[in-house]
Structure 1
Amino acid sequence: MAGLELLSDQGYRLDGRKASELRKVQARMSVFAQADGSAYLEQGNTKELAVVYGPHEYSMATFSTAERKRRPHGDRKSSEMSLHLKQTFEAAVLTELYPRSQIDIYVKILQEDGGNYSACVNAATLALVDAGIPMRDYVCACTAAFVEDTPLADLCHVEESGGGTSLSLALLPRSGNIALLQMDAHLHQDHLDTLMEAAMTACKGLSKVLDSVVSQHLKEFSVLTRD
């Protein structure tokens, strides 16, 4: 990325956003009739589909049996993503309401342009709401990174590839509890608070967006049931 100016002298990014400005988010719920809950989400040019099945009676997962299929080479990244999503939603879903049950969340990345984990979390949150799964709060996720001394929020692919340290945060906005925090490189602790603040502010902004999607969905659903 040498020679590429990620932030102009006027403080604008390559896509015209200001440093703290989120990418445009568009989302729909109940897009997959065969699932208990589903959602489609676009966060900038990153596009995700999330579906939820359950809660249903617990069964042994196929990957834990002796007849486990060999994973294709290079699948470590998706395995890490699955683990991170599991950790994230275990912090948010009221699992104590469903003893000896399981909830399956599947997320498909349809188009990548940065912030894949964050968009997966945001789509899965909407799918869980659609499925009627009780949670402590929405889980909202966003990325942040420094360009020189300026923290940028909600990174696109070009910004993620810029060489700086990026941070991914999943937040329960009302309580401020962190469901997951991940960094891809070392960062001096003097800069951590600034980057965390940028990510947390972005997550709180995303919670308002997700809340408006849910509200609009409920309005449309009430009209359909009335008719």
Structure 2
Amino acid sequence: MGSRVEILNDDGYRSDGRRQFELRDITMDLSPRGTADGSAMITHGLTQVMVSVFGPREAKMRAQTLHDRAVLNVEVNIAPFSTGERRKRNRGDKRILELAASIKSTFEPVVQTALYPRSQIDIYVHVLQQDGGLLQASINAATLALVGAGIPLLDLVCAVTGGVHSTSPMLDLTTLEENDIPHLTVAVMPKTGNVTLVTMETRLHVDRFGDIFKLTCDAAQVIHQEMKRAAYARTRRLVDAMDVDSKSILLTGDNVDKDTAMNELE
């Protein structure tokens, strides 16, 4: 049975003008939001996800407390306006629970929870807009939010979605493509090459799996570079802000001679 939509035209272009191996435009914002210890907003094309991280902090429920490590708690909220479907999804929705479980299992081997016994780390995922690649965007945003919260990780985690149209591997799928072709999501730790997640919601022929798996792992390296740039830019802003605060303290301190302070700053 042929495809209902044209996924790849005769010139090798997809419906949004990309080649099969091209990623969508990515933006990453680690600006602080509210009272969260760490937060990040990420977009992959039209998919937009915000993640807030709280903790490590005292566990709320004693029954779930682990004496030797922190517990990771992941909650996902999908905004009603994020998609064209009219169905409202609540916290008990099967898809939301599966998404939260996948994110949790991805980060449990990566977050150094042993450093924080008898505590919990809360990861709140807010889906603001959807157009494919929801799991990859959630994982990538969670990585940056954890970095922003200063929580030690063994490595950054970079996730990419890939699929196969006929015999053509493709990266970073839109909703249109996800609905029509077999696809998977892979989460990789780029430094070691270790894979923390491989999930498939559709059947994929075993002969095609190797190609698309390698392609997604290679693409994760590209996202890794973007993450490092975003994290460095945030650190630079924090350092600059600390420098400004230090200058302000020197200039306004009661026991500091202002001329001396200015000389020291120069």
TM-score, normalised by the number of residues in structure 1: 0.91
Among 210, 213, 230, which residue is 1:196 paired with? 213
Who is 1:60 aligned against?
A: 61
User: How far, CA to CA, are the matches of 1:219 and 1:5 in structure 2?
Assistant: 45
Among 168, 172, 190, which residue is 1:150 paired with? 168
Among 90, 114, 128, which residue is 2:132 paired with? 114
Residue 111 of structure 1, CA deviation: 0.4
Residue 188 of structure 1, CA deviation: 2.4
Q: Secondary structure at the match of 1:96?
A: helix
Among 171, 175, 187, which residue is 1:170 paired with? 187
Among 145, 159, 165, which residue is 1:141 paired with? 159
After TM superposition, which residue ranges in structure 1, 4 or more long, deviate above 6 angstroms? none
Mean Cα displacement is larger for which, 126-135 or 205-214? Answer: 205-214
Residue 62 of structure 1, CA deviation: 10
Is the 1:31–1:40 contact (alpha carbons within 8 Å) kept by the matching residues of 2? no
Who is 2:148 aligned against?
A: 130
Give % identity: 39
Among 208, 223, 228, which residue is 1:206 paired with? 223
- 1 or 2 for the larger relative contact order (CA 8 Å, sep ≥6)? 1
Q: Secondary structure at the match of 2:101?
A: helix
Q: Secondary structure at the match of 1:13?
A: coil
Residue 3 of structure 1, CA deviation: 4.1
User: How far, CA to CA, are the matches of 1:141 and 1:186 in structure 2?
Assistant: 20
Q: Secondary structure at the match of 1:14?
A: coil
User: How far, CA to CA, are the matches of 2:101 and 2:154 in structure 1?
Assistant: 20
Who is 2:178 aligned against?
A: 160
User: How far, CA to CA, are the matches of 1:61 and 1:196 in structure 2?
Assistant: 41
Structure 1, unpaired ranges of 5+: 64-70
Who is 1:102 aligned against?
A: 120
User: How far, CA to CA, are the matches of 2:227 and 2:32 in structure 1?
Assistant: 16
Is the 2:91–2:97 contact (alpha carbons within 8 Å) kept by the matching residues of 1? no
Is the 1:154–1:202 contact (alpha carbons within 8 Å) kept by the matching residues of 2? no
Is the 2:183–2:204 contact (alpha carbons within 8 Å) kept by the matching residues of 1? no
Who is 1:5 aligned against?
A: 6
Equivalent pairs, count: 220
Residue 186 of structure 1, CA deviation: 2.3
Distance 1:223 1:13, change over 3 A: same
Question: For each residue in 1:22-57, what CA deviation from the matched residue of structure 2 results, as whole angstroms up to 9, or x when unmatched?
Answer: 111111113313111001111110001100000012
TM-score, normalised by the number of residues in structure 2: 0.78
* Letter of the structure 2 residue corresponding to residue 79 of structure 1: L
User: How far, CA to CA, are the matches of 1:35 and 1:60 in structure 2?
Assistant: 20
Distance 1:61 1:85, change over 3 A: farther
User: How far, CA to CA, are the matches of 1:73 and 1:219 in structure 2?
Assistant: 37
Residue 160 of structure 1, CA deviation: 0.6
User: How far, CA to CA, are the matches of 1:133 and 1:185 in structure 2?
Assistant: 34
- Pairwise CA RMSD of aligned residues? 2.1
Mean Cα displacement is larger for which, 85-94 or 187-196? Answer: 187-196
